[in-house]
Structure 1
Amino acid sequence: MSSAGEGLSRPLPEQVRLNVVDLAAQVLGSMPAATVPPPLRGIAKFDPRKRARLGGAPIAAQLENDKDFRVAVAEHVTAGWPELVSSLAEGNVPPAADPVLVAAAAYLTRPPGWEEMIEAARTDLERNAAAAEGAEREEVVSRLREQLAAQKSAAKEEVDRLREQLKAARGENSDLRRKLHDARERAKAAVQRAEAMEQTAQDARAAATAAGSAGETELRRLRERLADVEKQLEASRRAAREGRSIEDARIRVLLDALQDASAGLRRELALPTTISRPADSVAAVAGETPGVRGVPARALADDDPQLLDQLLALPQVHLIIDGYNVTKTGYGTLTLADQRNRLMTGLGGLVAQTRVEVTVVFDGAELNAPVQVVAPRGVRVLFSAPGEIADDLIRQLVRAEPPGRAMAVVSSDREVAESVRRMGARPVPSALLLRRLGRA
């Protein structure tokens, strides 16, 4: 076994070495296990894609030192490139052949003059590398020239832009100087006017002082006259009070007579006496069984917990409730009947505590039969008529009230809230009423 690198003055070119190692790695994977050189048996088990990359150094060393292994690889090369190997054996290098393949085949098959073939391939590779490097350098130079030209163009554009800005700045500076001169002239005129006004004010103060002295004299005279008039007025009041007692008695007798007469006339004409509140006049479907202009003293948001308490404290407030909107917000999982009963129970306690007028409106557009509702004392229950929704009935109740009466509409329906607010009622979210009922 002889040294495979014998006759070479320098190592194989790197491209040739990589090609040779790759060929040897391919042959190594196809060799019988018994013929694999011992140093390469572990590498032979590698994945074919990793064999040349991870075992390159051992494979190259084995090719240098193991003639049998090199011959096995050379046979593989001969089978793969028979024309190239035959030409090299005859001492002819094909002109169009890749220098890397020529050098690899010469290194493995060792034809006569193989060392010169490798050196010739090295020369070709170095020449090609130098040519490629020169072309790359020319390309870099060309690219740099283009960048320089672009930068020069950009610099020229920037200079032109700065010149335009300088020209504009100079014009603006001239305008500012002119405006400053005008401002100074106006300031000077203003100072002159201020001095004139100061002189006028001094004259006015002197005149006012003189007028004040005369006014005080007139004021003392008027106070004396006022005291005399008050004495006369008090005397007149005493005389009027003495005569008023008789007139008061006569008026009281007349009012009692009118009240008795009106009661008798109502009975005689059989006039209805049940309409005692404006809400009672609003037409609705009842069950089988019977803007707020006076806002609170402290303005509160619609979702403030204290809002409902302040509204309930207003005198003669009318609380109108969107029934199903409240019940479905608080306990929507119950049946409609259970929702109504639970709301009525809570409202009974609220009315007992606050004594406010309460009207609950339910949507009755889809009712097929009368609904049994047990309304607590002081709670009015209304169902909207067929073809009418509860929202419309709520608006009718608001319109029926006289202007200026305190009204609160409990509903989380935004459209209802906005419409009643425009009509003078204060909207209240359903959650506030539910919280108030829970507290009660």
Structure 2
Amino acid sequence: MSSAGEGLSRPLPEQVRLNVVDLAATVLGTLPAVSVPPPLRGIAKFEARKRAKLGSAPIAAQLENDKKFRELVAESVAAGWPELVASLADGHVPPAADPVLVAAAAYLTRPPGWEEMIELARSDLQQSAAAAEGSEREEVVSRLREQLAAQKSAAKEESDRLREQLKLARSENSDLRRKLHDARERAKAALARTEEMERVAEEARTAAVAAGNAGESELRRLRERLADVEKQLEASRRAAREGRSLEDARIRVLLDALQDASAGLRRELGLPATISRPADSVAAHPGERPGVRGVPARALADDDPQLLDQLLAIPQIHLIIDGYNVTKTGYGTLTLADQRNRLMTNLGGLAAQTRVEMTVVFDGAELNAPVQVVAPRGVRVLFSDPGEIADDLIRQLVRVEPPGRAIAVVSSDREVAESVRRMGARPVPSALLLRRLGRA
């Protein structure tokens, strides 16, 4: 061991100092009270985990200035690391040894050349710190590169999105230009008709002047004709200003006349405000009836998503739904009661939106008692009688409809679909109705 007066020219590396203080704090807790240096007696009473933290500076100063205390700690180190202490005493530093442990053991045991051993450990620690800093820097650079790549990818996606939006805007602009062209053409046609009417009015005025000598009655007749022409001219001008054609005005007048005539005919015949549908009396029509004409398919396949939308747009169409076939396709994991309630709720919204006559048929052959089903407004609910399946009731509903009425049957049952197709109805897969209900 070296003398107490020997010291380092530079402070111990921080890691080595902490290790030395931790070793001394551990030994301090094992010393008898008489062997504890007076400056450290208060610290020796601390808990082991607080001793090194709170008494770091006093313990380090005592080790530096108190040879005896340092030798007590060195003995503990020699007992714990005998091979390392022996190797250092011979002047050899084990190549695989931790630099912190080597420096701590050299500082406490003071073998020959211990200062150089500490400096060597300091150099190793600095190199390790530099390597760690370089590794951290490389990690930061790699992370920044990843962030840059992500930003480039996001920028490319944003660019693609903007490009698609520009393409869509151009397409909409093209449509608007086409519509503007059509509007201009209609305006030109209306102007031409106006000019024609003005020419007719001018001719009528000339004829009226020429026929003025023909008598008062002929004059009144010509004036009435002139007034009619002028009224038509003013109506034409007003329609042109409002972007409407004279034909549109005439059609509107014709429709109003037809509506008034139909209302008067209904009052004359004493017809009720609401009439029953053929499906309401299906039980009274068990026999065969002529099949209805085919529903327009509009060149769409049975699984085309637009098929159901086009069918619902047909005036006075009757939509017949195979209830359990739809519910078991869409939500078969629910109980039958929950399936019926969910279908009724969804069909209520569709009926309110489209105002289409709807009839839902459920299989009631195996029911032990009547089932209470709250049918929404505009939706008819039927259960097949005992001994009868829902498929037969669906076919009976198709038969009772008058020839020519449009009928669509929603069912994925192939036998049902083929039979109603032969009867003139248009089959629709259950998946299309479920998709339409989900969209609604």
> Would you say same fold, with TM above 0.5?
no
TM, length-normalised to structure 1:
0.42
Higher Rg:
1
Q: TM-score, normalised by structure 2?
A: 0.42
